[in-house]
Structure 1
Amino acid sequence: MGRTKHGNRDVHFYNIRGTDKMVHAGDCVLMRAAESNTPPYVARVVKMEADGSNNLIVRVRWYYRPEESVGGRLEFHGANELFLSDHYDTQSANTIEAKCTVHTFEDYTKLEDATAEDYYCRFQYRAASGLVLQNTVALYCKCEMPYNPDALMIQCEECEDWFHPGCINRTIEQVKLLDRFVCSEHTLKKPPDAAVANREARPKRQKK
């Protein structure tokens, strides 16, 4: 094993206590919070090393939850959404509770059965300022919001835009019963006899 500039030894893997799970550099992990009522922290392992007393230290890059940013949690933020920060830190490996996966947003929306250990990231975060770096993302519905994969949406057959039930004055239950859906803008433009029969409205997939 190589030695770092501090005299520590490079370590290539860590076995999480009480499990058979191995952590390597590049993996994402859940780390125990100091407060018992706080959700575990999420981090990406950058490297691992052992000090002179054989204590294992991990260098991590933190993910932040939306509510930790200046803007707070917004309506389009999903329950498992994270921001990749520029905040690096060192922690004891003993604080690692489990491995998790932080997907790209696109990959996350393709999951059939997302678990509590499946997260996603589409924005980056500046820890010092508390600001989120807004990437260019697609906007949907009358409210012009980014897509929240936890929320049901329905697609207009004409414009192919997606709409939240509340934004078209319908409940989720009403939307689920629709055979087809055309938004108000295209309903006004479309002559009554031009309706397309026997087509089903397609709800956007909800994360289970």
Structure 2
Amino acid sequence: MAKIKQGKKDVDSYTIRGTNKVVRVGDTVLMRPSDTDNQPYVARVESMETDGRGSVRVKVRWYYRPEEAKGGRRQFHGAKELFRSDHLDMQSAHTIEGKCIVHSFKDYTKLNNVGAEDFFCRFDYNAASGAFSPDRVAVYCKCEMPYNPDDLMVQCDACKDW
């Protein structure tokens, strides 16, 4: 007798193993890297499905850190800055370590306390071409150096403006 293959089914949520934290579509999560020396990856959950045997997979949209993108980290990139990419992937839900929040640049600069799970994004990133959108960033002083939110109220070395 032939086995009937169980179909995939969309699910609404997933509880992170060993916790009571529930992940839903639209949440931003920390994903365990294969090399434990690396920082967790950050991704937005786009969809979830189960194979009927209890295995849950998530479709994620990756966020890139500046050093992972073409051009690398620049002086104006904040320590918690990420780029929202067009790179989508299917991953086992078991690789989700926790939840995090990716704020808009404006909302991030208004935070009183930045926690370990707080990040910000001001660029979209095309992983294949290395192009950014917008391709320019707002500048805040005469020397036209973009604002780094980690440097609060500092005097610009180049133009001496605050």
| TM-score, with length taken from structure 1 | 0.71
Matched, 1:132 2:132: yes
Partner of 2:158: helix, strand, or coil?
helix
Question: How far does residue 151 in structure 1 lie from its aligned partner after superposition?
Answer: 0.8
Q: Is the 8 A contact 1:59 1:88 kept in 2?
A: yes
Give me the whole-angstrom Cα distance separating, in 2, the residues matched to 1:82 and 1:8: 32
**CA distance, structure 1, for counterparts of residue 7 and residue 46 of structure 2:** 18
Shift of 1:104: 0.5
Counterpart amino acid of 2:91? Q
Q: Which entry has the higher C-alpha Rg, 1 or 2?
A: 1
Partner of 1:40: 40
Find the partner of 2:158 among 167, 172, 189: 167
The structure with the greater share of residues assigned to strand is: 2
Partner of 2:68: 68
Sequence identity percentage: 59
Structure 1 unpaired stretches of 5+: 1-5, 155-162, 170-182, 184-202, 204-208
Superposed CA deviations along residues 40-96 of structure 1, whole A, max 9, x for unmatched, are 000000011101422100000000011111111000000000000000000000000
The two structures have a TM-score, normalised by structure 2, of 0.90
Structure 2 residue runs without a partner (length 5+) = 1-5
Larger RCO (alpha carbons 8 Å, 6+ apart)? 2
Equivalent runs, 1:184-203 vs 2, <5 Å = none
Whichever structure has more helix as a proportion of its residues is 1
In the alignment, is the contact (CA less than 8 A) between 1:69 and 1:131 conserved in 2? no
Shift of 1:136: 4.6
Task: Give the ranges of 4+ consecutive aligned residues of structure 1 lying more than 6 Å apart after TM superposition.
Answer: none
**1:113 counterpart residue number:** 113
